[in-house]
Structure 1
Amino acid sequence: MATPIFERETWLDISVNIIPLFIIGFFVALFAVASPWAIEGLTSILGFALLVVPFVLLAYLTYIAARLIEDAEAE
């Protein structure tokens, strides 16, 4: 049987970060598929960057936090 990545309590602790990740991911997909504005170069790149960069940073922060929670519970 496969070993889970994190324990159940860790998933509950990091769920406060996972929910905003889903929300940001939804808006990235929405603007990529059905953009209400025309794609105009720099403004579109900045708009997507303002969604993608926080998404990536929050995902990394969530992973680091989960690892630290797991290590603290192991001790």
Structure 2
Amino acid sequence: MANKTFDKDTMLDLVVNMVPLAIILFFVVAFAVVNPFGFESLPSGLQFALLIVPFVALAVLTYLSGKAIAGAEKTGTVYPPGAATVPGIEPLHEEESELEEPKDESASAVEGDTA
């Protein structure tokens, strides 16, 4: 199985940036197709620049934040939402690793029975 940079949880975190990207892209296409203000070099150039520059900047920011979120989840300690500063809360990674260990043992036991 390939190691994905953006898993399901990371994609859910990035949806808040994808909605404005879709809106900006809609207006770029709409203004290119319908062209309600006519076409003149300077005003049309400014109009498209004011849409395309933020689109590119937000796309780059979304990609970089996605990589940062995915990297932090893999290397850092992950706590339940809102519980990072609460005393006595255990990290999620330790709980997940404890849950995964019995599955691996049972899978190897089943494989040992069939062999």
What TM-score do you get using the length of structure 1 for normalisation? 0.93
Higher helix share: 1
CA contact (8 A) 2:14 2:62 kept: yes
Q: What is the CA RMSD across the aligned residues, in angstroms? A: 1.3
Matched to 2:64, the amino acid is: I
Establish whether residue 39 from structure 1 lines up as the match of residue 71 from structure 2: no
Matched to 2:32, the amino acid is: A
1:57 aligns with 57
Counterpart-to-counterpart distance in 2, 1:33 and 1:3? 40
| Alignment CA distance shift 1:29-1:3 (3 Å) | farther
Establish whether residue 13 from structure 1 lines up as the match of residue 22 from structure 2: no
* Aligned residue pairs, count: 75
2:23 aligns with 23
Aligned-residue offset at 1:3: 5.3
Structure with max Cα Rg = 2
CA contact (8 A) 2:6 2:66 kept: yes
Aligned-residue offset at 1:37: 1.0
Tell me which of the two structures has the higher relative contact order, counting C-alpha pairs closer than 8 angstroms and 6 or more residues apart: 1
What TM-score do you get using the length of structure 2 for normalisation? 0.62
CA contact (8 A) 2:5 2:67 kept: no
| Alignment CA distance shift 1:43-1:2 (3 Å) | same
- Consecutive unaligned residues of structure 2, counting only runs of 5 or more, are 76-115
Aligned-residue offset at 1:5: 4.4
Identical amino acids, percent of aligned pairs: 52
